[in-house]
């Protein structure tokens, strides 16, 4: 993984002033339709896919959930499932596909994500800036672009323990228009902002692509994923 400087990552993943070509990494050998129709692979029958609990895995000293947050208080069924989009410091869940109405345009204030607004399941929370840095910038964690059941994303692996998590890359929603954009990448919130309370920009987040992963800053009104950590 590359340690991205603040300004370069801002341009690459937030402002869209640089063009990123997201390349496919190999073909899927598994047939997702066949797997979906096999009752033995029904995620609802797997205790690991309890929507309210997740055992998590420890990567570089931080316990990460293995699945994205779906509706408030619940995890997605599987690691490759998208879950829902969220705006920063806001508990309202937005779908990851299609057009929507009544997009929120009120900027959330504060420098930290308020506990009352955290949609993470019980015992979990949105990660801090330091925690996302430990995932994407550490020499103790490797990054690989892979495909699981037709979903592309980034695999982060602890080089000491072999523990890993998969973050699906399915774009985000524009802070202005709410339309889906940057579908070849994946974007995940931290709970911290560095800019003043009334500034829409400047919240730390993770950005992943087929080439690299890093942290940067983006708009509070953008719709992004949440991969929470153990409290």
Q: What is the 3-state secondary structure (H, E, C) of 124-140?
A: EECCCHHHHHHHHCCCC
pLDDT in tens, 132-150: 999 998 899 999 999 999 9
* Assigned domain for 184 exists: yes
* Assigned domain for 45 exists: no
Q: How many domains does the chain have?
A: 1
* Assigned domain for 25 exists: no
Parent domain of 226: 6-20+54-96+112-230
pLDDT band per the 50, 70, 90 thresholds, residue 48: low
User: What pLDDT score does 185 carry?
Assistant: 97
* Assigned domain for 31 exists: no
pLDDT in tens, 23-47: 222 333 333 333 333 333 444 445 4
* Assigned domain for 203 exists: yes
* Assigned domain for 165 exists: yes
User: What pLDDT score does 198 carry?
Assistant: 72
How much is the average pLDDT of 205-224?
96
* Assigned domain for 194 exists: yes
pTM of the model: 0.80
CA distance 131 to 57: 14
Tell whether the model's pLDDT for residue 207 goes beyond 60.
yes
């Amino acid at each position: 993984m590359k340690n991205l400087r603040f300004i370069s990552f801002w341009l690459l993943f937030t402002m869209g002033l640089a063009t990123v070509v997201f390349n496919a990494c190999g073909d899927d050998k598994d047939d997702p339709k066949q797997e979906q129709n096999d009752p033995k692979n029904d995620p609802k029958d797997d205790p690991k896919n309890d929507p309210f609990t997740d055992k998590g895995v420890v990567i570089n000293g931080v316990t990460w959930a293995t699945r994205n947050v779906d509706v408030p208080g619940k995890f997605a069924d599987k690691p490759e499932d998208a879950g829902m989009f969220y705006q920063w410091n806001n508990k309202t869940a937005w779908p990851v596909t299609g057009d929507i109405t009544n997009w929120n345009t009120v900027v959330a204030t504060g420098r930290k994500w308020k506990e009352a607004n955290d949609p993470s399941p019980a015992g979990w929370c949105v990660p801090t800036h330091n925690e996302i840095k430990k995932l994407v910038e550490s020499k103790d964690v490797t990054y690989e672009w892979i495909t699981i059941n037709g979903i592309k994303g980034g695999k982060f692996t602890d080089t000491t323990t072999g523990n890993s998590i998969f973050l699906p890359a399915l774009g985000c929603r524009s802070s202005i228009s709410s339309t889906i954009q940057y579908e070849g990448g994946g974007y995940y919130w931290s709970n911290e902002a560095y800019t003043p309370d009334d500034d829409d920009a400047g919240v730390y987040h993770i950005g992943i692509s087929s080439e690299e992963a890093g942290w940067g800053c983006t708009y509070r009104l953008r719709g992004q994923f949440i991969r929470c950590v153990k409290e």
